[in-house]
Structure 1
Amino acid sequence: MAMVSVIIPTLLGREHLLKRAILSVLNQTFQDFEIIIVKNYKETKLDLEDPRINEVYEARKGVSTARNTGMKISGGKYIAFLDDDDVWLPNKLEEQLKIFKKSPDVGLVYGKYKHMGNGKIIPPKIIEGNVFENLLRDNFIGTSTVIIRKEVFESIGGFDESLYIGEDWDYWLRISEQYIVRGVNSIVSIYSGPTLSSDYKKVFYGLTKFMNKWFPKMNKNAQIKNTLRLLWYSQIYYHYGDIGFTNYAQSHICIRLGTSL
Protein backbone atom coordinates (compact mmCIF):
# COMPACT_ATOMS: atom_id res chain seq x y z
CA MET A 1 0.00 0.00 0.00
CA ALA A 2 1.38 3.40 -1.00
CA MET A 3 1.98 6.06 1.65
CA VAL A 4 0.58 8.93 -0.46
CA SER A 5 -2.28 8.96 -2.97
CA VAL A 6 -1.96 11.73 -5.57
CA ILE A 7 -5.29 12.79 -7.10
CA ILE A 8 -5.23 14.43 -10.56
CA PRO A 9 -8.53 15.30 -12.30
CA THR A 10 -8.29 15.93 -16.03
CA LEU A 11 -10.26 16.48 -19.25
CA LEU A 12 -9.94 15.34 -22.84
CA GLY A 13 -7.56 17.54 -24.81
CA ARG A 14 -5.22 18.26 -21.91
CA GLU A 15 -2.96 15.24 -22.28
CA HIS A 16 0.18 17.32 -22.83
CA LEU A 17 -0.46 19.20 -19.57
CA LEU A 18 -1.34 16.02 -17.71
CA LYS A 19 1.92 14.34 -18.76
CA ARG A 20 3.91 17.30 -17.45
CA ALA A 21 2.05 17.15 -14.12
CA ILE A 22 2.59 13.39 -13.78
CA LEU A 23 6.30 13.67 -14.54
CA SER A 24 6.63 16.19 -11.71
CA VAL A 25 5.20 13.54 -9.36
CA LEU A 26 7.43 10.78 -10.73
CA ASN A 27 10.43 13.05 -10.14
CA GLN A 28 9.72 13.44 -6.41
CA THR A 29 12.48 12.68 -3.93
CA PHE A 30 9.86 10.73 -1.96
CA GLN A 31 8.74 7.78 -4.09
CA ASP A 32 6.17 5.83 -2.03
CA PHE A 33 3.01 7.01 -3.81
CA GLU A 34 0.22 6.06 -6.15
CA ILE A 35 -1.16 8.39 -8.84
CA ILE A 36 -4.93 8.34 -9.42
CA ILE A 37 -5.95 10.13 -12.62
CA VAL A 38 -9.69 10.78 -12.84
CA LYS A 39 -10.57 11.60 -16.45
CA ASN A 40 -13.73 12.13 -18.48
CA TYR A 41 -12.62 10.20 -21.56
CA LYS A 42 -11.71 6.67 -22.61
CA GLU A 43 -10.32 7.40 -26.06
CA THR A 44 -6.63 7.54 -25.22
CA LYS A 45 -4.28 6.24 -22.59
CA LEU A 46 -1.13 7.80 -21.25
CA ASP A 47 2.15 7.03 -22.97
CA LEU A 48 3.73 6.74 -19.53
CA GLU A 49 4.25 3.29 -18.08
CA ASP A 50 4.47 3.07 -14.31
CA PRO A 51 2.63 0.55 -12.11
CA ARG A 52 1.82 3.35 -9.66
CA ILE A 53 -0.41 5.15 -12.21
CA ASN A 54 -4.11 4.30 -12.10
CA GLU A 55 -6.42 5.82 -14.74
CA VAL A 56 -10.08 6.05 -13.71
CA TYR A 57 -12.89 7.01 -16.06
CA GLU A 58 -15.79 9.13 -14.87
CA ALA A 59 -18.34 11.06 -16.92
CA ARG A 60 -17.57 14.70 -16.18
CA LYS A 61 -19.60 15.98 -13.25
CA GLY A 62 -17.20 18.65 -12.08
CA VAL A 63 -13.78 18.81 -10.46
CA SER A 64 -15.16 18.20 -6.95
CA THR A 65 -16.77 14.92 -8.00
CA ALA A 66 -13.55 13.88 -9.75
CA ARG A 67 -11.44 14.59 -6.66
CA ASN A 68 -13.95 12.81 -4.43
CA THR A 69 -13.90 9.77 -6.70
CA GLY A 70 -10.13 9.66 -6.43
CA MET A 71 -10.21 9.97 -2.65
CA LYS A 72 -12.78 7.18 -2.30
CA ILE A 73 -10.54 4.67 -4.05
CA SER A 74 -7.27 5.96 -2.61
CA GLY A 75 -5.19 3.60 -0.51
CA GLY A 76 -2.65 5.98 0.94
CA LYS A 77 -2.34 7.26 4.48
CA TYR A 78 -2.13 10.75 2.96
CA ILE A 79 -3.92 12.36 0.01
CA ALA A 80 -2.29 15.03 -2.16
CA PHE A 81 -3.99 17.13 -4.83
CA LEU A 82 -2.52 18.21 -8.15
CA ASP A 83 -4.34 20.00 -10.97
CA ASP A 84 -3.40 18.75 -14.42
CA ASP A 85 -1.93 22.09 -15.50
CA ASP A 86 0.27 22.56 -12.42
CA VAL A 87 3.57 20.92 -11.45
CA TRP A 88 5.32 20.05 -8.20
CA LEU A 89 8.89 20.82 -7.26
CA PRO A 90 10.93 17.66 -6.54
CA ASN A 91 11.01 17.81 -2.73
CA LYS A 92 7.35 18.71 -2.16
CA LEU A 93 6.15 15.43 -0.69
CA GLU A 94 9.32 14.82 1.32
CA GLU A 95 9.18 18.22 3.04
CA GLN A 96 5.46 18.07 3.79
CA LEU A 97 5.55 14.54 5.17
CA LYS A 98 8.23 15.62 7.65
CA ILE A 99 5.68 18.02 9.17
CA PHE A 100 3.03 15.31 9.49
CA LYS A 101 5.48 13.02 11.27
CA LYS A 102 6.43 15.76 13.76
CA SER A 103 2.83 16.88 14.38
CA PRO A 104 0.23 14.10 14.67
CA ASP A 105 -2.55 16.64 15.29
CA VAL A 106 -2.09 18.28 11.88
CA GLY A 107 -4.79 17.57 9.30
CA LEU A 108 -3.53 19.61 6.34
CA VAL A 109 -0.14 20.81 5.14
CA TYR A 110 0.25 23.31 2.32
CA GLY A 111 3.05 25.44 0.89
CA LYS A 112 3.85 28.38 -1.33
CA TYR A 113 3.33 28.30 -5.07
CA LYS A 114 4.75 30.38 -7.89
CA HIS A 115 2.61 31.72 -10.71
CA MET A 116 4.03 30.52 -14.01
CA GLY A 117 2.94 33.68 -15.84
CA ASN A 118 3.81 36.63 -13.59
CA GLY A 119 6.26 34.98 -11.19
CA LYS A 120 4.23 36.00 -8.16
CA ILE A 121 4.70 33.84 -5.05
CA ILE A 122 1.55 33.05 -3.05
CA PRO A 123 1.03 33.34 -0.15
CA PRO A 124 3.77 35.83 0.77
CA LYS A 125 3.62 34.55 4.35
CA ILE A 126 2.73 31.08 5.64
CA ILE A 127 -0.10 31.13 8.20
CA GLU A 128 -0.32 28.14 10.55
CA GLY A 129 -2.26 26.75 13.48
CA ASN A 130 -5.95 27.49 13.89
CA VAL A 131 -6.33 29.28 10.57
CA PHE A 132 -10.12 29.18 10.22
CA GLU A 133 -10.65 32.91 10.85
CA ASN A 134 -7.80 33.78 8.47
CA LEU A 135 -9.31 31.58 5.77
CA LEU A 136 -12.69 33.26 6.11
CA ARG A 137 -11.03 36.46 4.89
CA ASP A 138 -8.95 34.97 2.06
CA ASN A 139 -8.15 31.66 0.45
CA PHE A 140 -4.36 31.62 0.72
CA ILE A 141 -4.06 27.84 0.21
CA GLY A 142 -3.34 26.63 -3.33
CA THR A 143 -4.94 23.30 -4.19
CA SER A 144 -1.84 21.84 -5.83
CA THR A 145 0.19 22.50 -2.68
CA VAL A 146 -2.15 20.58 -0.35
CA ILE A 147 -1.71 17.20 1.30
CA ILE A 148 -4.15 15.92 3.94
CA ARG A 149 -4.40 12.88 6.16
CA LYS A 150 -6.78 10.23 4.77
CA GLU A 151 -8.60 10.30 8.10
CA VAL A 152 -9.63 13.90 7.39
CA PHE A 153 -11.57 12.73 4.35
CA GLU A 154 -13.02 9.85 6.34
CA SER A 155 -14.12 12.26 9.07
CA ILE A 156 -15.57 15.27 7.23
CA GLY A 157 -16.13 13.89 3.74
CA GLY A 158 -14.95 15.32 0.45
CA PHE A 159 -15.40 18.45 -1.62
CA ASP A 160 -18.88 19.98 -1.78
CA GLU A 161 -20.13 18.89 -5.20
CA SER A 162 -22.86 21.53 -5.23
CA LEU A 163 -20.23 24.29 -5.47
CA TYR A 164 -18.61 25.03 -8.84
CA ILE A 165 -16.74 28.11 -7.61
CA GLY A 166 -14.79 28.11 -4.34
CA GLU A 167 -15.07 24.36 -3.79
CA ASP A 168 -11.43 24.19 -2.71
CA TRP A 169 -11.77 27.20 -0.37
CA ASP A 170 -14.85 25.58 1.15
CA TYR A 171 -12.94 22.35 1.80
CA TRP A 172 -10.02 24.08 3.51
CA LEU A 173 -12.51 25.97 5.71
CA ARG A 174 -14.23 22.76 6.74
CA ILE A 175 -10.89 21.11 7.48
CA SER A 176 -9.56 24.09 9.45
CA GLU A 177 -12.66 24.10 11.66
CA GLN A 178 -11.55 20.75 13.06
CA TYR A 179 -7.83 20.37 12.40
CA ILE A 180 -4.54 22.21 12.78
CA VAL A 181 -3.02 23.47 9.52
CA ARG A 182 0.72 23.73 8.89
CA GLY A 183 2.74 24.99 5.96
CA VAL A 184 6.10 24.62 4.24
CA ASN A 185 7.80 28.00 4.03
CA SER A 186 9.06 27.43 0.51
CA ILE A 187 7.71 27.03 -3.02
CA VAL A 188 6.38 23.51 -3.56
CA SER A 189 4.31 23.98 -6.72
CA ILE A 190 4.23 25.96 -9.96
CA TYR A 191 0.78 27.29 -10.81
CA SER A 192 -0.10 27.73 -14.48
CA GLY A 193 -2.86 30.31 -14.09
CA PRO A 194 -6.53 30.80 -13.23
CA THR A 195 -9.11 28.44 -14.69
CA LEU A 196 -12.21 30.40 -13.68
CA SER A 197 -14.97 30.50 -16.25
CA SER A 198 -15.01 33.51 -18.54
CA ASP A 199 -18.77 33.53 -17.93
CA TYR A 200 -18.71 36.25 -15.28
CA LYS A 201 -22.39 35.82 -14.50
CA LYS A 202 -21.74 32.16 -13.69
CA VAL A 203 -18.81 33.16 -11.50
CA PHE A 204 -20.97 35.70 -9.67
CA TYR A 205 -23.67 33.14 -8.93
CA GLY A 206 -21.04 30.59 -7.91
CA LEU A 207 -19.40 33.02 -5.49
CA THR A 208 -22.83 33.98 -4.16
CA LYS A 209 -23.55 30.33 -3.39
CA PHE A 210 -20.24 30.02 -1.57
CA MET A 211 -20.95 33.26 0.33
CA ASN A 212 -24.41 32.05 1.36
CA LYS A 213 -22.73 29.10 3.03
CA TRP A 214 -20.00 30.95 4.93
CA PHE A 215 -21.18 34.57 5.28
CA PRO A 216 -22.82 34.05 8.73
CA LYS A 217 -19.49 32.85 10.18
CA MET A 218 -17.46 35.78 8.83
CA ASN A 219 -16.67 38.81 10.97
CA LYS A 220 -17.58 42.22 9.57
CA ASN A 221 -14.22 42.82 7.90
CA ALA A 222 -14.33 39.44 6.17
CA GLN A 223 -17.92 40.06 5.09
CA ILE A 224 -16.97 43.38 3.52
CA LYS A 225 -13.86 42.02 1.81
CA ASN A 226 -15.65 39.07 0.26
CA THR A 227 -18.70 41.12 -0.70
CA LEU A 228 -16.37 43.46 -2.59
CA ARG A 229 -15.32 40.45 -4.65
CA LEU A 230 -18.94 40.18 -5.75
CA LEU A 231 -19.03 43.91 -6.44
CA TRP A 232 -16.02 43.52 -8.74
CA TYR A 233 -17.89 40.93 -10.82
CA SER A 234 -21.02 43.09 -10.91
CA GLN A 235 -18.91 45.90 -12.39
CA ILE A 236 -17.71 43.51 -15.10
CA TYR A 237 -21.31 43.28 -16.33
CA TYR A 238 -21.49 47.05 -16.54
CA HIS A 239 -18.52 47.09 -18.92
CA TYR A 240 -20.12 44.34 -20.97
CA GLY A 241 -23.33 46.36 -21.20
CA ASP A 242 -25.41 44.09 -18.96
CA ILE A 243 -26.84 47.00 -16.95
CA GLY A 244 -29.84 45.05 -15.74
CA PHE A 245 -27.74 42.40 -14.12
CA THR A 246 -25.33 45.03 -12.77
CA ASN A 247 -28.21 46.66 -10.91
CA TYR A 248 -29.40 43.30 -9.59
CA ALA A 249 -25.91 42.31 -8.45
CA GLN A 250 -25.27 45.61 -6.69
CA SER A 251 -28.65 45.48 -4.96
CA HIS A 252 -27.81 41.98 -3.77
CA ILE A 253 -24.47 43.24 -2.44
CA CYS A 254 -26.04 46.21 -0.66
CA ILE A 255 -28.41 43.89 1.19
CA ARG A 256 -25.40 41.95 2.45
CA LEU A 257 -23.59 45.08 3.63
CA GLY A 258 -26.69 46.73 5.05
CA THR A 259 -25.90 49.89 3.12
CA SER A 260 -26.51 51.56 -0.24
CA LEU A 261 -24.25 52.46 -3.13
Structure 2
Amino acid sequence: MTAPSVGVVIATRGRPELLRSAVRAALAQDYDGEIEVIVVFDQVPIDALDDIAVPGHRRFLRTIHNERTPGLAGGRNTGILATSAELVAFCDDDDEWLPTKLRRQGEEWEKNPDAVLVSVGITILTEGAEHVRLPPVHTVFADLLESRITEIHPSTFLLRRSSLLGEVGLVDEQLPFSYGEDYDLLLRAARTGPILGVPEPLVVIRWNRVSFFSDRWQGIADGLTYILAKYPEFASTAIGSARLEGQIAFAYAALGDRPTARHWARRTIRHDRSQLRGWAALAISARLVPASFLVAAVNRRGRGL
Protein backbone atom coordinates (compact mmCIF):
# COMPACT_ATOMS: atom_id res chain seq x y z
CA MET A 1 0.00 0.00 0.00
CA THR A 2 1.15 3.55 -0.70
CA ALA A 3 2.06 5.48 2.43
CA PRO A 4 -0.07 8.60 3.06
CA SER A 5 1.26 11.86 1.69
CA VAL A 6 2.71 14.30 4.24
CA GLY A 7 2.69 18.09 4.16
CA VAL A 8 5.53 19.43 6.32
CA VAL A 9 4.70 22.95 7.54
CA ILE A 10 7.63 25.12 8.64
CA ALA A 11 6.69 28.63 9.75
CA THR A 12 9.76 30.86 9.82
CA ARG A 13 11.04 34.31 10.61
CA GLY A 14 14.64 35.47 10.62
CA ARG A 15 16.61 32.19 10.89
CA PRO A 16 17.86 31.54 7.33
CA GLU A 17 20.67 29.10 8.12
CA LEU A 18 18.79 27.05 10.71
CA LEU A 19 15.79 27.03 8.38
CA ARG A 20 17.86 25.43 5.64
CA SER A 21 18.93 22.65 7.98
CA ALA A 22 15.30 22.02 8.94
CA VAL A 23 14.15 21.91 5.31
CA ARG A 24 16.96 19.61 4.16
CA ALA A 25 16.24 17.21 7.03
CA ALA A 26 12.53 17.10 6.12
CA LEU A 27 13.35 16.42 2.48
CA ALA A 28 15.83 13.68 3.41
CA GLN A 29 13.27 11.43 5.16
CA ASP A 30 13.38 7.75 4.23
CA TYR A 31 9.56 7.75 4.15
CA ASP A 32 7.90 5.93 1.23
CA GLY A 33 5.04 8.38 0.75
CA GLU A 34 4.99 11.75 -0.97
CA ILE A 35 6.47 14.62 1.04
CA GLU A 36 5.67 18.28 0.42
CA VAL A 37 7.60 20.85 2.44
CA ILE A 38 5.81 24.19 2.77
CA VAL A 39 7.85 27.03 4.24
CA VAL A 40 5.67 29.91 5.42
CA PHE A 41 7.47 33.24 5.83
CA ASP A 42 5.91 35.29 8.62
CA GLN A 43 6.42 39.08 8.65
CA VAL A 44 9.57 38.78 6.50
CA PRO A 45 10.18 38.63 2.72
CA ILE A 46 9.98 35.23 1.04
CA ASP A 47 13.28 33.42 0.48
CA ALA A 48 12.92 31.08 -2.51
CA LEU A 49 15.49 28.66 -1.00
CA ASP A 50 16.85 28.04 -4.50
CA ASP A 51 20.08 26.71 -3.06
CA ILE A 52 18.34 23.64 -1.60
CA ALA A 53 18.35 20.55 -3.80
CA VAL A 54 15.04 18.70 -3.77
CA PRO A 55 15.73 14.93 -3.97
CA GLY A 56 13.41 12.39 -5.55
CA HIS A 57 10.37 12.77 -7.75
CA ARG A 58 7.96 12.50 -4.79
CA ARG A 59 9.35 15.41 -2.79
CA PHE A 60 8.45 19.06 -3.30
CA LEU A 61 9.37 22.40 -1.74
CA ARG A 62 7.13 25.47 -1.70
CA THR A 63 7.78 28.90 -0.18
CA ILE A 64 4.80 31.13 0.59
CA HIS A 65 3.85 34.12 2.71
CA ASN A 66 1.71 34.01 5.85
CA GLU A 67 -1.71 35.09 4.59
CA ARG A 68 -3.45 34.96 7.95
CA THR A 69 -2.89 36.45 11.42
CA PRO A 70 0.76 37.49 11.89
CA GLY A 71 2.56 35.04 14.14
CA LEU A 72 3.18 31.33 14.50
CA ALA A 73 -0.48 30.28 14.63
CA GLY A 74 -1.36 32.11 11.41
CA GLY A 75 1.78 30.82 9.73
CA ARG A 76 1.00 27.21 10.55
CA ASN A 77 -2.61 27.58 9.44
CA THR A 78 -1.47 29.09 6.14
CA GLY A 79 0.64 25.99 5.56
CA ILE A 80 -2.13 23.58 6.59
CA LEU A 81 -4.55 25.19 4.14
CA ALA A 82 -1.95 25.32 1.36
CA THR A 83 -1.19 21.60 1.34
CA SER A 84 -3.44 18.85 0.01
CA ALA A 85 -1.48 16.08 1.75
CA GLU A 86 -3.32 13.51 3.86
CA LEU A 87 -1.13 14.11 6.90
CA VAL A 88 0.34 17.34 8.30
CA ALA A 89 3.58 17.58 10.27
CA PHE A 90 5.02 20.64 11.98
CA CYS A 91 8.68 21.52 12.35
CA ASP A 92 10.06 24.66 13.97
CA ASP A 93 12.55 26.52 11.79
CA ASP A 94 15.41 25.89 14.24
CA ASP A 95 14.83 22.15 14.75
CA GLU A 96 15.89 19.14 12.71
CA TRP A 97 14.42 15.70 12.02
CA LEU A 98 16.41 12.49 11.89
CA PRO A 99 15.89 10.56 8.62
CA THR A 100 13.64 7.84 10.10
CA LYS A 101 11.21 10.20 11.87
CA LEU A 102 8.23 10.06 9.51
CA ARG A 103 8.65 6.37 8.73
CA ARG A 104 8.63 5.38 12.40
CA GLN A 105 5.55 7.50 13.04
CA GLY A 106 3.77 5.87 10.13
CA GLU A 107 4.66 2.39 11.35
CA GLU A 108 3.33 3.07 14.83
CA TRP A 109 0.17 4.71 13.51
CA GLU A 110 -0.60 1.60 11.44
CA LYS A 111 -0.55 -0.40 14.68
CA ASN A 112 -2.77 2.15 16.47
CA PRO A 113 -5.11 3.67 13.85
CA ASP A 114 -7.34 5.27 16.50
CA ALA A 115 -4.61 7.76 17.46
CA VAL A 116 -5.37 11.37 16.58
CA LEU A 117 -1.75 12.58 16.77
CA VAL A 118 1.63 10.82 16.75
CA SER A 119 4.79 12.26 18.27
CA VAL A 120 8.37 11.06 18.72
CA GLY A 121 11.14 11.64 21.25
CA ILE A 122 13.47 14.61 21.16
CA THR A 123 17.10 15.47 21.88
CA ILE A 124 17.43 18.96 23.36
CA LEU A 125 20.72 20.73 22.69
CA THR A 126 21.67 23.25 25.38
CA GLU A 127 24.98 24.98 25.95
CA GLY A 128 27.44 22.13 26.31
CA ALA A 129 24.93 19.31 26.87
CA GLU A 130 22.34 17.05 25.25
CA HIS A 131 19.13 15.95 26.97
CA VAL A 132 16.99 13.10 25.62
CA ARG A 133 13.26 13.35 26.34
CA LEU A 134 10.90 10.55 25.35
CA PRO A 135 7.10 10.94 25.14
CA PRO A 136 4.60 8.59 26.79
CA VAL A 137 3.44 5.89 24.38
CA HIS A 138 -0.19 6.80 25.13
CA THR A 139 -1.57 10.16 26.27
CA VAL A 140 -5.18 11.21 26.87
CA PHE A 141 -6.91 14.50 27.70
CA ALA A 142 -6.75 14.04 31.49
CA ASP A 143 -2.98 13.54 31.30
CA LEU A 144 -2.54 16.86 29.49
CA LEU A 145 -4.67 18.74 32.01
CA GLU A 146 -2.23 17.73 34.75
CA SER A 147 0.95 18.18 32.72
CA ARG A 148 1.96 19.86 29.48
CA ILE A 149 4.15 16.77 28.84
CA THR A 150 6.82 18.85 27.12
CA GLU A 151 8.32 15.68 25.65
CA ILE A 152 5.48 15.93 23.10
CA HIS A 153 7.13 18.77 21.19
CA PRO A 154 5.39 20.58 18.30
CA SER A 155 8.26 19.71 15.94
CA THR A 156 7.19 16.08 16.36
CA PHE A 157 3.46 16.54 15.68
CA LEU A 158 1.91 14.43 12.92
CA LEU A 159 -1.87 14.73 12.41
CA ARG A 160 -4.46 14.01 9.77
CA ARG A 161 -5.24 17.12 7.73
CA SER A 162 -8.92 16.15 7.87
CA SER A 163 -8.77 16.38 11.70
CA LEU A 164 -7.26 19.87 11.54
CA LEU A 165 -10.01 20.96 9.17
CA GLY A 166 -12.66 19.15 11.22
CA GLU A 167 -13.07 17.93 14.79
CA VAL A 168 -9.70 19.15 16.13
CA GLY A 169 -9.63 22.46 14.28
CA LEU A 170 -6.88 24.74 13.06
CA VAL A 171 -4.28 26.36 15.31
CA ASP A 172 -5.99 28.98 17.51
CA GLU A 173 -5.08 32.39 16.09
CA GLN A 174 -6.77 34.17 19.01
CA LEU A 175 -4.03 33.10 21.41
CA PRO A 176 -2.07 36.18 22.50
CA PHE A 177 1.35 36.18 20.80
CA SER A 178 0.58 32.59 19.67
CA TYR A 179 2.07 31.50 23.00
CA GLY A 180 0.94 28.03 24.02
CA GLU A 181 -0.63 27.25 20.62
CA ASP A 182 0.97 23.81 20.66
CA TYR A 183 -0.46 23.00 24.10
CA ASP A 184 -3.90 24.23 23.08
CA LEU A 185 -3.78 22.07 19.95
CA LEU A 186 -2.74 19.03 22.00
CA LEU A 187 -5.65 19.55 24.39
CA ARG A 188 -8.14 19.80 21.55
CA ALA A 189 -6.65 16.77 19.80
CA ALA A 190 -6.74 14.68 22.97
CA ARG A 191 -10.44 15.48 23.38
CA THR A 192 -11.08 13.50 20.18
CA GLY A 193 -8.74 10.55 20.67
CA PRO A 194 -5.48 9.29 22.18
CA ILE A 195 -2.05 10.74 21.37
CA LEU A 196 0.58 8.18 20.46
CA GLY A 197 4.28 8.56 21.24
CA VAL A 198 7.22 6.80 19.59
CA PRO A 199 9.80 6.49 22.40
CA GLU A 200 12.82 7.20 20.19
CA PRO A 201 14.70 10.54 20.00
CA LEU A 202 14.14 11.40 16.33
CA VAL A 203 14.03 15.22 16.44
CA VAL A 204 16.82 17.59 17.49
CA ILE A 205 15.60 20.66 19.41
CA ARG A 206 18.03 23.55 19.60
CA TRP A 207 17.93 25.51 22.83
CA ASN A 208 21.48 26.77 22.34
CA ARG A 209 20.12 29.85 20.58
CA VAL A 210 17.92 32.81 21.51
CA SER A 211 14.21 32.00 21.76
CA PHE A 212 11.60 34.44 20.46
CA PHE A 213 9.85 34.05 23.84
CA SER A 214 12.91 34.27 26.12
CA ASP A 215 12.01 37.75 27.38
CA ARG A 216 8.40 38.18 26.22
CA TRP A 217 6.87 37.68 29.62
CA GLN A 218 3.65 39.57 28.89
CA GLY A 219 2.93 37.30 25.96
CA ILE A 220 3.55 34.25 28.13
CA ALA A 221 1.28 35.55 30.88
CA ASP A 222 -1.50 36.48 28.46
CA GLY A 223 -1.27 33.25 26.49
CA LEU A 224 -1.45 30.99 29.54
CA THR A 225 -4.26 33.04 31.11
CA TYR A 226 -6.20 32.57 27.86
CA ILE A 227 -5.68 28.79 27.93
CA LEU A 228 -6.65 28.54 31.59
CA ALA A 229 -9.92 30.35 30.84
CA LYS A 230 -10.57 28.42 27.63
CA TYR A 231 -10.65 25.02 29.32
CA PRO A 232 -13.05 24.86 32.27
CA GLU A 233 -11.81 21.31 32.86
CA PHE A 234 -8.78 22.74 34.67
CA ALA A 235 -11.12 23.32 37.61
CA SER A 236 -11.16 19.54 38.07
CA THR A 237 -7.43 19.29 38.73
CA ALA A 238 -5.64 21.30 41.40
CA ILE A 239 -2.26 20.13 40.09
CA GLY A 240 -3.00 21.21 36.53
CA SER A 241 -4.43 24.57 37.61
CA ALA A 242 -1.44 25.26 39.86
CA ARG A 243 0.99 24.49 37.06
CA LEU A 244 -0.47 27.15 34.77
CA GLU A 245 -1.05 29.61 37.60
CA GLY A 246 2.56 29.20 38.67
CA GLN A 247 3.80 29.94 35.15
CA ILE A 248 1.61 33.04 35.01
CA ALA A 249 2.87 34.16 38.44
CA PHE A 250 6.47 33.66 37.32
CA ALA A 251 5.89 35.70 34.15
CA TYR A 252 4.38 38.62 36.07
CA ALA A 253 7.22 38.47 38.59
CA ALA A 254 9.72 38.63 35.72
CA LEU A 255 7.83 41.66 34.38
CA GLY A 256 8.23 43.37 37.74
CA ASP A 257 4.47 43.44 38.36
CA ARG A 258 4.75 42.40 41.98
CA PRO A 259 1.07 42.69 43.06
CA THR A 260 -0.16 40.59 40.13
CA ALA A 261 2.64 38.07 40.58
CA ARG A 262 1.74 37.64 44.23
CA HIS A 263 -1.94 37.23 43.40
CA TRP A 264 -1.19 34.38 40.98
CA ALA A 265 1.41 32.89 43.34
CA ARG A 266 -1.17 32.70 46.13
CA ARG A 267 -3.59 30.94 43.77
CA THR A 268 -0.83 28.53 42.81
CA ILE A 269 0.12 27.63 46.36
CA ARG A 270 -3.50 27.32 47.41
CA HIS A 271 -4.01 24.66 44.74
CA ASP A 272 -0.66 22.89 45.12
CA ARG A 273 1.91 23.81 47.76
CA SER A 274 4.53 21.71 45.97
CA GLN A 275 4.34 23.80 42.77
CA LEU A 276 7.75 25.49 42.78
CA ARG A 277 6.85 28.16 40.22
CA GLY A 278 4.59 29.88 42.75
CA TRP A 279 7.35 30.02 45.35
CA ALA A 280 9.84 31.16 42.69
CA ALA A 281 7.48 34.01 41.73
CA LEU A 282 7.37 35.14 45.36
CA ALA A 283 11.16 35.01 45.58
CA ILE A 284 11.49 37.10 42.41
CA SER A 285 8.90 39.57 43.66
CA ALA A 286 10.84 39.91 46.93
CA ARG A 287 13.97 40.57 44.84
CA LEU A 288 15.75 37.61 46.36
CA VAL A 289 16.69 36.17 42.97
CA PRO A 290 16.38 37.41 39.35
CA ALA A 291 14.06 35.58 36.97
CA SER A 292 16.84 35.30 34.37
CA PHE A 293 18.98 33.26 36.78
CA LEU A 294 16.21 30.72 37.40
CA VAL A 295 15.31 30.44 33.71
CA ALA A 296 18.96 29.87 32.76
CA ALA A 297 19.30 27.24 35.49
CA VAL A 298 16.36 25.13 34.29
CA ASN A 299 17.26 25.62 30.61
CA ARG A 300 20.71 24.15 31.23
CA ARG A 301 18.95 20.96 32.35
CA GLY A 302 16.83 20.87 29.19
CA ARG A 303 13.73 22.17 30.95
CA GLY A 304 11.62 25.25 30.40
CA LEU A 305 9.47 27.60 32.48
Same-fold call, TM cutoff 0.5: yes
Query: 2: CA distance between counterparts of 1:179 and 1:151?
Result: 14
- Answering whether residue 35 of structure 2 is matched by residue 33 of structure 1, we say yes
Stretches of structure 2 lacking an aligned partner (at least 5 in a row): 272-277, 283-305
Counterpart of 2:108 (choices 81, 99, 103) is: 99
Tell me which amino acid in the other structure corresponds to 1:20.
Answer: S
CA contact (8 A) 2:100 2:202 kept: yes
Stretches of structure 1 lacking an aligned partner (at least 5 in a row): none
Query: 2: CA distance between counterparts of 1:23 and 1:232?
Result: 37
Tell me what 1:248 maps to: 260
Number of matched residues?
252
CA contact (8 A) 1:18 1:84 kept: yes
Cα 1:204–1:231 change in 2 (3 A) is same
Tell me what 1:48 maps to: 52
Query: 2: CA distance between counterparts of 1:137 and 1:216?
Result: 10
Query: 1: CA distance between counterparts of 2:252 and 2:238?
Result: 21
Tell me which amino acid in the other structure corresponds to 2:262.
Answer: Q
CA contact (8 A) 1:215 1:223 kept: no
- Answering whether residue 217 of structure 2 is matched by residue 200 of structure 1, we say yes
Tell me what 2:250 maps to: 232
Query: 1: CA distance between counterparts of 2:77 and 2:217?
Result: 26
CA contact (8 A) 1:6 1:35 kept: yes
Deviations 1:152-206, CA, capped at 9 Å, x for gaps: 1122211111112111000010000101211111001000125424122332222
Question: Which segment is superposed worse, 40-49 or 168-177?
Answer: 40-49
Tell me what 1:180 maps to: 194
Cα 1:195–1:186 change in 2 (3 A) is farther
Tell me what 1:110 maps to: 119
Q: Cα RMSD between the aligned structures?
A: 2.4
Query: 2: CA distance between counterparts of 1:215 and 1:258?
Result: 18
SS at match of 1:148: strand
- Answering whether residue 81 of structure 2 is matched by residue 72 of structure 1, we say yes
Query: 2: CA distance between counterparts of 1:230 and 1:39?
Result: 30
TM-score, normalised with respect to structure 2? 0.75
Task: Give runs of ≥4 in structure 1 deviating > 6 Å.
Answer: none
- Answering whether residue 51 of structure 2 is matched by residue 58 of structure 1, we say no
TM-score, normalised with respect to structure 1? 0.87
Query: 2: CA distance between counterparts of 1:149 and 1:44?
Result: 28
